[in-house]
Amino acid sequence: MFEALMNALLSIWTWIEIGLVALVGFCVQLSLAILTWAFDHKRHVTGRCFRLIGVTAAKLTPFWRFGVHGQVPDKVAPNTVVVSNHESNADPFLISHLPWEMKWLGKASLFKIPVVGWSMWMAGDVPVHRGDRDSATGAMAKCRQWLAKGMPVMIFPEGTRSKTDDLLPFKDGAFRLAIEAQADVLPLAVSGTRRALPKHSWRFATSRGLVTVGTPISTKGMTLADVETLKNLAREQILSLRASLMPLTRTEPAVPPGPASAA
């Protein structure tokens, strides 16, 4: 009973903390947008600002210890489609620890959230209505424009969060986009975030979350007939990368012992 009460109180505090960080960060991001909008056509400054807002919120969250595992490049090729497994709404907080900017494909409903949605728009992220073919076509076109400008894009090919340790089937969109743009596909893997913020729950839990980066897969010479092959190559990498993280992200306590830290 006591642990449940402590979890509820700390979860309420965590939502307040994330909201305050998002609000202050939005004010900073808006100021940077006013200063850079005329010449920063990649929205690199406002994008990085938004990712750092997420990193800051994660570091201040008493439940989470998020970090990056293994060697990570300082930057990736501009023409790159980044793909990752999707465990939780905490995934963007974790993946934002990576040191390069990329534009994210996200649910359109997220863009309607005050402050957070405005920040996503200023960062240049791309909304999509799940299950709407026209929306998906438009979103992929926008992603293709970002790639043409030399800005990587980030897509969760499962399309939604998996409720179990099993990956959901990968959708074709990210891989069709990569082949059409002759872009590299860069697999990432996350582990530990499902516990951080369980699906359909407002309560947080102690979590050791890690992200790791795989090896780029070239699409040079591929055609749309190779979409399934490309999907399988990316999926195999993600499964292997995630397997290497899982022993490092197992946690037992339900109530956090103290402030979070990142590796």
- Map tokens 């938004």 to a residue: 50
Report how far Cα 206 is from the mean position of its chain's Cα atoms: 19
Residue with tokens 């591929």: 222
pLDDT of residue 251: 67
Residue 139 or 258, more confident: 139
Angle at 130 between CA 142 and CA 183, to 5 degrees: 35
* CA–CA distance, 196 with 209 (Å, rounded to integer): 8
Q: What mean pLDDT comes out for the span 101-112?
A: 96
pLDDT at 6: 81
Say yes or no to pLDDT of 256 above 50.
no
Would you say 155 and 174 are in contact if contact means Cβ atoms under 8 Å apart? yes
Question: For residue range 177-210, what is the model confidence (pLDDT) as tens digits?
Answer: 999 999 999 999 999 999 898 877 888 999 999 9
Nearest to 91 by CA among 163, 11, 196, 13: 196
What is the pTM for the complete model shown?
Answer: 0.90
Which of 91, 79, 33, 74 has its CA nearest to residue 182? 79
Task: Quickly count: other Cβ atoms within 10 Å of residue 157's Cβ.
Answer: 25
Task: Give the residues across from 103 on adjacent strands.
Answer: 153
Output the CATH code of domain 2-248.
3.40.1130
pLDDT in tens, 10-54: 899 999 999 999 999 999 999 999 999 999 999 999 999 999 999
- pLDDT the model gives residue 145: 97
| Domain extents in the chain | 2-248
Could you give the CA distance from residue 96 to residue 50 in angstroms, rounded to a whole number? 9
